[in-house]
Amino acid sequence: MDYTSLAGELQSLVKGSVKVHEPMKQHTTWRIGGNADLFVDPGDKDDIRRTVEFAAAHDIPLTVIGNGSNLLVKDGGIRGLVLKVGRGLAGISVEGATIKAGAGAMLPELAAAARKASVGGFEFAAGIPGSLGGAVIMNAGAMNGCVADVLLAVEVINEQNQFLTLTKEELGFSYRSSNLQNKGYICVSTLWQGYPKGKDLIEQETRDYVARRKAAQPRGYPNAGSVFKNPEGDFAGRLIEACGGKGLRVGDAEVSTKHANWILNLGNATARDVLTLIDKIKKMVQESFGVSLHLEVRVLGED
């Protein structure tokens, strides 16, 4: 398939940028991943609709990503077209205690907008480096708060390439999950509801949350945050540490010595290094405790 020619054709249809053979390591916080055949950074939600239509018309596989903070792309890259819901959909507006934000905005930006407007409920989001679209899909959270606590509704593009608004109740939220994970929907905008709260109190609680996260989490190396979901009634990091997983290393991928549920890229880690390490950890925990760990990160692409 002549992706250079296809890129030119698609570029004539969208406001955003279209690239060929784009390194995915530039779009994941792990800084790992092979190339995408085609890569689109849309300028607005209509760009998304046009890109979906283009991919379908040319029978090109379509993969949608957000900020890449919860993503491992394999070393062979991603075939077809990768659509990144990013800065072209990052606008935020506040009216009273209601906030409307594009799916490409970041959780810390949402928290900052709420803080500026004296709207409470979003303090937990200040230290989570993810986009809103991805955060909704996985019900991201921290410090006893999560997306499901404050989301009202989300606008998506459905499998028929139509805009559709879904309420929180329709999303089937559970721990680090929503029913959007099993549907071919693309989040384009979000609607949130907070409550009036003193700005000084919001700022103090936010500082406390961010400080606690910094104290508990590794710094200085590319990573994707928590690799595994916490098993019910326990913590993945505790189990990994208890069976001797801290500091375990494959190539340049290492289980953090500070937080055992984080895998760090010490410089030149490959996806294969990370996946091998993930398999070792899962086997160790299963053999030691009889617990099956399940990934919180999303794995895409081919070897």
The residues annotated as belonging to the active site are 176, 226, 296
Report the 10 Å Cβ neighbour count for 237: 22
- Cα–Cα distance, 192 to 131 (Å, whole number): 14
Q: How many residues does the chain have?
A: 303
Which tokens is 183 given?
A: 């549907």
Q: Annotate 183-219 with b (16+ C-beta within 10 A) or e (fewer).
A: eebbbbbbbbbbeebeeeebeebbeebbeeeeeebbe
Are 245 and 261 in contact by the 8 Å Cβ rule? The answer is: no
Which tokens is 206 given?
A: 């936010």
Residue 31, CA atoms < 13 Å, CB-side half-sphere = 12
Give bridge partners of residue 187 from the DSSP assignment. Answer: 156
54: Cβ–Cβ under 8 A, 6 or more apart, which residues? 9, 10, 13, 60
The closest alpha carbon to 226, from 213, 211, 212, 244, belongs to 213
- Cα–Cα distance, 238 to 231 (Å, whole number): 11
E strand or H helix that includes residue 157: strand 151-157
81: Cβ–Cβ under 8 A, 6 or more apart, which residues? 36, 37, 38, 39, 40, 51, 55, 60, 61, 62, 63
E strand or H helix that includes residue 136: helix 132-138
What's the 3-state SS for 266-277? CCCCCHHHHHHH
Which tokens is 74 given?
A: 């394999």
